[in-house]
Amino acid sequence: MTTGVPLSTAPRRRSRGRTFLPLAVAAWLILEIWLLSLVAGAAGGLTVAALLLGGIVLGAVVIKRAGRRAFRNLADTFQQAQQGQQPAPGAAKRQRGSGNGLTMLAGLLLMLPGLLSDVAGLLLLLPPVRAWTGRRLAGSLERQMTAAPAGSFGDAFQQARIHYPDGKVVQGEVIREDGPQQPQQPGPDAGYRPPLAP
């Protein structure tokens, strides 16, 4: 017998995003192939190969740069924490505006073969577009976390983050038998047992 949040027996309604995401991905792939064939017909196959190779190289450079910046920010934060210093008032805002995660996403979009993904990656490299996208994603995530029903993944994440910051939670169950006690039979297991913890 285990304890926990009771599971609902009502059928779950499929979200709109899960319904249309496969269709959107299929439409995107068809559009990418069509655009590549148009460019290949107009400029030749070598031009398409050069565009794809250039996107891969540029995406790798962008991802490498963003990764180095994120590692440098992390190292600076650890160094300040070890020295007991508080971060500068504008440092959090500067780090939030740098958008290393979105910059890495832009590099990944550049590395994907296709012209639409390259355009999306180049747009995401622009600081105003990156800041706007970051604000929209943060707002959407916050709304989903606060609107999550009890017992969902979002609720579990909130509880673990707020109530158990060290992450040392051992779930279990205590079973108490309140029936009459049977007299113990003497035997090899009837003596003292030391605790199992080291």
pLDDT in tens, 93-133: 555 545 788 888 899 999 988 889 999 999 999 999 988 98
Instruction: List Cβ neighbours of 129 (8 Å cut-off, separation of 6 or more).
Output: 123
Contact between residue 103 and residue 64 where contact means Cβ atoms under 8 Å apart:
no
- Residue 176 clears pLDDT 50, i.e. is over it: yes
Contact between residue 77 and residue 87 where contact means Cβ atoms under 8 Å apart:
yes
- Residue 57 clears pLDDT 90, i.e. is over it: yes
pTM of this prediction? 0.59
State the DSSP H helix or E strand holding residue 44, giving kind and residue range, or none if neither.
none
